[in-house]
Structure formats: C-alpha cells, structure tokens
C-alpha cells in the first residue's frame, strides 16, 4: 500500500520542523546539562606575611572585589598582593602553584617576599 499524499505531507512537515524545535530547545538543554557554578563566597591571601598590613592565610568573606577593598592598604603599597588573593574555589590549585618553581604565583610570592 502506498501512503496517501496527506500522510506524506504530514511526515515532511514533521521532519522539517524537527531542526527548528531542536534549535529552540538547545539553550535550555545546554543549561540543564551544564554543571551549576558554585562559588565559595570567600577569598584568601596566600602570599607572605606583610608586617602591619596582611598575614598569610587571611580570609575575606564575600567576593574578590570585597577582598580587594579590605586589603586596599596592602595592595596600594605592594600591587602584587592583588594577584595573591584567590577565591576559595581556586585555593587548592593556587596553594600548589605558590610552592611550585616556574609558576607565576611562585614568582610573585618570591618577589613579594624579597620586597
């Protein structure tokens, strides 16, 4: 038995509509599949002690910008401090980088420690 022209037309319109529907749903599907970005809500200074200004391990609650405001005096005197304030999300990796020769954080730490 052959398909009627109405059935063939319905199949053709469904096939033509599939890419349009897929394109419309793509952002929603990608958003659902993307892991949620979690922020730790704190920053920490991983540089050397700066007498009277900042100590190693100082924790700042809030965003990185909040931390920069709280450490403004140290950043003004030693601009490298800014790059040694890291978010809690990046902390594990940054602590290793500070101790690993050849990394940017190691170089900044050593330069600031030699002030």
Burial class (CB in 10 A: 0-12, 13-18, 19+), 50: buried
Q: Which of 30-34, 37-41, 66-70 has the highest mean pLDDT?
A: 66-70
pLDDT digits (tens, 9 = 90+) for 104-113: 999 999 999 9
* Model-wide pTM > 0.85: no
Candidates 43, 53, 54; CA nearest to 94 is 43
Rounded CA gap, 40 and 64, in Å? 11
Locate the domains of the chain by residue range: 1-34, 42-113
Q: Is the pLDDT of residue 71 over 60?
A: yes
The residue among 3 and 45 whose pLDDT is bigger is 45
Q: Is the pLDDT of residue 9 over 60?
A: no
Phi, psi for 73 (deg, rounded to 5): -65, -45
């Amino acid at each position: 038995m052959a398909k009627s022209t109405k059935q063939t037309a319905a199949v053709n319109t469904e096939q033509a509509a599939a890419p349009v529907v897929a394109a419309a749903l793509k952002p929603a599907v990608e958003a659902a599949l993307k892991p949620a970005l979690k922020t730790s809500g704190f920053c920490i200074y991983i540089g050397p002690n700066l007498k009277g200004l900042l100590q190693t391990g100082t924790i700042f609650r809030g965003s990185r910008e909040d931390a920069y405001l709280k450490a403004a005096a140290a950043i003004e005197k030693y601009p490298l401090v800014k790059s040694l304030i890291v978010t809690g999300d990046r902390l594990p990796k940054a602590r290793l980088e500070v101790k690993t020769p050849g990394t940017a954080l190691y170089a900044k730490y050593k330069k600031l420690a030699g002030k």
